Amino acid sequence: MKKITLVLIMCVALVSCKKETPGFVSFSGKLSNISKTDTVFSLRSKEHTKEIRINKDGTFKDTLHVKVAGYYTLVMNNRNYGFVFLRNGFDLNLTADNNSFFQTTRYSGNGSNTTNYLIDQYKYNLAIGNTSKLFMLEKDAFKKELNSIKNGYDSLQKLHGEIDTMIVRINSKQNTELFNLLEKNYDSQHAAILQKMKTEESLSKGKPAPKFNNYLNYKGGKTSLDEFRGKYVYIDVWATWCKPCIAQIPFLKKLEKKYARKKIEFVSISTDNSSTAGSWDNALSKWKKMVKDKDLSGVQLYAGEDTKFAEAYQIYGIPRFILIDPKGNIVNANAPRPSDPSLEVLFKELGI
């Protein structure tokens, strides 16, 4: 299941609201610490954009007709500065420091409670963060923390007094759906996180490196990781269809040439497979052709149908680089790329 993030309890659905009766919104305010280029900001929704001019002293004032009540973003110089909930009949005044706009934004006047509530709720969501830390808790602690979060949302509503009923209705629905989803998926997510933590621990520095065995060698025969004992091994996990992988090849070649007589082997493992090439025969042919056409150096290996090595290192995206020490232990299971200057700094620290 994809990660569930509490920040999603923002009123993203607010732009899908009922039509307004005739009327206008009065919108004014003052922005401190504006620059010479901060002369206009925009109010934007899916249905409407309104530009409002800012005076030299940072003040602004405008009247606008809102066709659809809802959530509008504030944008200045192509930066998303914040948001406001607008409904005809509102009389809003905004104050904010341009150097820390969202953190200092505050509204006053008729209708301000709703936006102030949304801002505080958004900050509350950010403070809670990703739900992975919730799923790490044991079940009783998880339920207790979930109830605490629910009470926090209730307290925010009470703190801001009268809030637009549409917002209350939408938020209540979203919150209920989210909390139900969290509770429903606790068991599977908790187990997955524990397994991930266990795997990450097994891949930490100094742990025995998971091995590959009998991978097809471009130069002939088969090769296993144990054959490189006594040397550092820098492994590049890649595929012929992977453009970011191919982009690293020139940098990798330079490293291989520079460290040719050092105590390190550069090993590239192709993960081309039948799903990306159409068949296993095609995958093998594509790998051989690219090794030849690009005159790839180092030790060129093909994993074929063996996925155990990639699974052991939790490789879900490539390129992936792994550094192993002469004793067969992990130095870095997610090492810097060849193009990253920090890689040679690491080599130097290791005395390579």
All structural domains of the chain with their residue ranges: 6-186, 215-349
- Integer Cα distance of 262 and 351 in angstroms: 10
In this structure, the strands spanning 106-110 and 91-97 are: antiparallel
Task: Judge whether 29 and 93 are in contact, CB under 8 Å.
Answer: yes
Q: At what angle do helices 165-184 and 112-128 cross, to 10 degrees?
A: 20
* C-alpha to C-alpha distance for 341 and 18, rounded to whole angstroms: 55
Task: Kindly report the pTM of this predicted structure.
Answer: 0.57
List, in sequence order, every beta strand (DSSP E) within 54-188.
Answer: 59-64, 70-76, 79-86, 91-97, 106-110
- Using alpha carbons, list the distances in angstroms from residue 71 to 45, 47, 84, 257: 7, 11, 6, 57
Q: What is the pLDDT of residue 7?
A: 44
Average pLDDT per consecutive 10 residues, the chain (352 residues; last block may be shorter): 46 39 84 90 86 94 88 82 91 93 92 94 87 90 93 90 89 90 93 85 93 96 97 98 96 96 96 94 97 96 95 93 97 97 97 94
Cβ(125)–Cβ(6) below 8 Å: yes
Residues 215-349: name the CATH superfamily. Answer: Glutaredoxin (3.40.30.10)
Q: Are 125 and 9 in contact (CB under 8 A)?
A: yes
Tell the CATH topology of 6-186. Immunoglobulin-like (2.60.40)
The DSSP element (H or E) to which 158 belongs, if any, is helix 139-159
pLDDT for the residue 268 = 98
CA gap 299, 314 in Å, rounded: 22
Q: How many CA atoms lie within 13 A of 61 on its CB side?
A: 2
pLDDT attached to residue 80: 66
Distance of alpha carbon 331 from alpha carbon 10, whole angstroms:
42
Length of the chain in terms of residues written: 352
